[in-house]
Structure 1
Amino acid sequence: MTTVTLCLIVKDEEDCLKRCVDSVRDVVSEVVIVDTGSSDATPEIARGLADRYAEFPFRGDFSEARNEALGLASGDWVLFLDADEEMPAASADALPHLLAHTAPEVGGMTLLRYNFFRDAGFYTTPELKLHRRRPAVRYERAINESLWGSITGAGAEVVASGLALNHFGHCRSLVSREEKAARYLTAFETETARDPSDPFFPAFRALILRTLGRFEEARDLAERARGLAPDSALINLFYGHVIRALGHPERTLAAYQHALSLAPDDPALLNMTGVALVEAGRADEAAGFFTAVTRVDPTYIHARINLGLVAQSQERWSEAAELFAEALVANPAFGHYDWKGHVEIDPFRATHFETPFGYHGLGYHLAYARMRAHQQEA
């Protein structure tokens, strides 16, 4: 039987930790939790949840802390989550079968993480969260820590798992999000100074500055990153995100189309090209891109939401309602909503979303589409 260790490093996560562990409790063999200096009730909660618990002083190096947790794991595989993440039930249920039938050359797998905001908006990131436990597989880099190098360096492959993950870190208050953004900006600036040839750190800084409304600075950094890696589809995707925040629909579309030319089957690029087409007033063309996303990678559930938004824009209310309902069943977290997010003044939040501007959360769109469909039928 394939065994799985859930690993977490935590600090002041009393509100989230139990929900995270409970979301995968039935499909993991053991739970390892390392506390890095909590001042709330997290250590007490963690001791009650963990099979192995330790405390480790954080010294500014996230890889060091994560590797401490890896050293306590004993499973065949490691699922490394953050305390503010939860695995949807459908993905958790699919995990044992997936691991039991994974080819031996696969050393790690990404999950598509949905990063939710309080008002139910979201963006996605593929995250390497699942890997075979091997002594040589360890996290690298003090910040933006990663296993990619050690897994591929050992001759193993990293593949997409087809599983989803929900992340609620952006559901924290705006103040705490901006404080975290400031810390990351400082850390990424340090890393940029250490290796000016690495395009990812200016690209990440650009994305953070976008969240703060510092769009011109973000554009300059995104252009610098693109100059360092002109043929990187990912860097060009980030560039498109920044241009979109500047409010230039046609330039945004051109940026995403260029990135898509570098990776024609990339679901994130297909989706964002569709989003840019909607925002440029070309919804009919956008539908084909969203449909392509569902064919290339069904994990991108939000392509159905975007198809529903196209149908909504064309007053095909029953079709829109059906698509919205399918997405909600596939991942109930799309229905997440905190009224505080509705009244919170954050004018730049929507620049993150992988839906057209004007998205108000799936609950709103589903209810409205159903109401209008009923009116059409009456």
Structure 2
Amino acid sequence: MNLDKLLTIALITKNEAKHLPDCLASVQDLGCPIVIIDSGSSDATPEIAEQFSAAFHVFTDWQGFGTQRNRAHAFIQTPWVLWLDADERLGETTRQDLIQRISQTIPDGKVLFSINRLSIAYGREIRHSGWYPDRIVRCYPIAQTQYSDDLVHESVLVPSGVKVVELKGDVLHNTYADLNQHLEKMKQYAFAWAAQRQGKKSATPFSATIRAVFAFLRFYFLKRGFLDGQQGLMIATMNAVYTFLKYAQLWQLNRSKSGSLKG
């Protein structure tokens, strides 16, 4: 069944030529329009988008993940939008449930839909480590809500009185293939997190270290990361590194702001 009058698939991209073809292929049979908001790709991302007849719009004035996503609303002509990341693949069970529910649900703002992501990291499906289940709202009526304007870790705003319905199945999420990719993404997120909290939250190198230790213990033991084998150990360790980075960067930004005020 085509959902071309009901649903638009939306993505934000930058240099996603490696992942984008498989992502768009996983939703191609839905027959939905595709809107891509790009932040200045220098690889084959635009050409791949054209191959899938996606509407491709470039905004290079990066203002954060939330703002970039919300820019898509101006180009969406259907009542519903489903957001995917380029490294995600819509699974068959989720696809069928989505078709049925969108076809039968009035976009009156009373229902939003969440997907469940199953992540692959370092070549293994991660079913513990705090990564699974990974429920996230990704499908909503564009007239009723949008994303928060957070620089990073943006989320769909859930209006009061609205029910979040869980779509069946899993959406496959190809995360980190190697250590370098993981480190680069962590640095990006950590620095954006710190910038958003500069002057609003305190941090020191000592508190960053203590938080990092507890982050490792939490993800490896409490979140049962040890059940994910060597990959679970990597994830717990990298979560500790990420925690240290974001609080250490916040400390540095706060010091810089304090010094400028004194000057």
Measured against the shorter chain, the TM-score band is 0.7 to 0.9
Of 99, 103, 108, which residue of structure 2 is paired with 1:100? 103
Are 1:63 and 1:139, in contact at CA under 8 Å, matched by a contact in 2?
yes
Return the letter of the residue paired with 2:191.
Answer: T
Q: How far off its partner does 1:167 sit?
A: 0.7
1:128 corresponds to 2:137 = yes
Q: Is the 8 A contact 1:27 1:93 kept in 2?
A: no
Moved over 4 A (4+): none
More helix by share: 1
Higher RCO (CA-CA < 8 Å; seq separation 6+): 2
For residue 11 of structure 1, report the CA deviation from its aligned partner. Answer: 0.6
Match of 1:183 in 2: 188
Q: Which amino acid aligns with 1:218?
A: A
Counterpart of 2:150 (choices 117, 124, 141) is 141
If the length of structure 1 is used for normalisation, what is the TM-score?
Answer: 0.52
Shift, 1:76, TM fit: 2.0
Alignment of structure 1 residues 1-80 onto 2, 5 Å: 3-80=6-83
Q: Which runs of 5+ in 1 are unaligned?
A: 203-213, 223-240, 253-271, 280-305, 310-341, 353-378
Q: Residue 85 in 1 paired to residue 74 in 2?
A: no
Does residue 1:218 correspond to 2:205, yes or no? Answer: no
Q: Does 2:174 align with 1:174?
A: no
- Number of the residue aligned with 2:234: 349
Rounded to whole Å, the distance in 2 between the matches of 1:33 and 1:64 is 14
Spell out, residue by residue over 1:1-32, the C-alpha distance to the aligned partner (whole angstroms, 9 max, x if none): 76110001111011111110110111242111
2:170 counterpart letter in structure 1: A
What letter corresponds to residue 234 of structure 2 in structure 1? R
Q: What one-letter code is carried by the residue in structure 2 that aligns with 1:37? A: G
Does the 8 Å contact 2:113/2:140 carry over to 1? yes
Partner Cα separation in structure 1 for residue 59 and residue 173 of structure 2: 24
C-alpha displacement of 1:136:
4.9
* Aligned-residue RMSD, C-alpha: 3.2
Secondary structure class of the residue paired with 1:110: strand
Structure 2 contact 83–138 (Cα < 8 Å) conserved = yes
In 2, Cα distance between equivalents of 1:118 and 1:176: 10
Q: Residues of 1 paired with 2:116 and 2:99: CA distance? A: 17
Contiguous gaps of at least 5 residues in structure 2: 238-263
Cα distance in 2 for residues equivalent to 1:346 and 1:88: 23
Contact 1:113 1:126 in 2 (8 A): yes
Larger radius of gyration: 1
**1:283-308 C-alpha deviation (Å, 9 max, x unpaired):** xxxxxxxxxxxxxxxxxxxxxxx8xx
TM-aligned CA deviation for residue 129 of structure 1: 1.0
1:162 to 156, 159, 168: 168
Note the 1:223-234 alignment, pairs <5 A: none
1:79 to partner: Cα distance: 0.5
Shift in Å, 1:75: 1.6
Return the letter of the residue paired with 1:119: G
1:366 corresponds to: none
Which of residues 218, 232, 240 in structure 2 aligns to 1:243?
A: 218
Q: Is the 8 A contact 1:27 1:95 kept in 2?
A: no
Which secondary structure state, in structure 2, belongs to the residue aligned with residue 71 of structure 1? helix
What's the CA shift string for 1:79-134, capped at 9, x where partnerless?
11111100112221221112223475533211111111132131322111111121
Aligned partners of 1:114 and 1:346: how far apart in 2? 14
Within 2, Cα distance between the matches of 1:158 and 1:347? Answer: 30
Alignment of 1:224-373 (within 5 A): 242-245=217-220, 252=222, 275=224, 348-349=233-234, 351=236
Structure 1 residue 40 displacement after superposition: 0.7
Would the aligned equivalents of 1:91 and 1:164 in 2 still touch at CA under 8 Å? yes
Q: What TM-score do you get using the length of structure 2 for normalisation?
A: 0.73
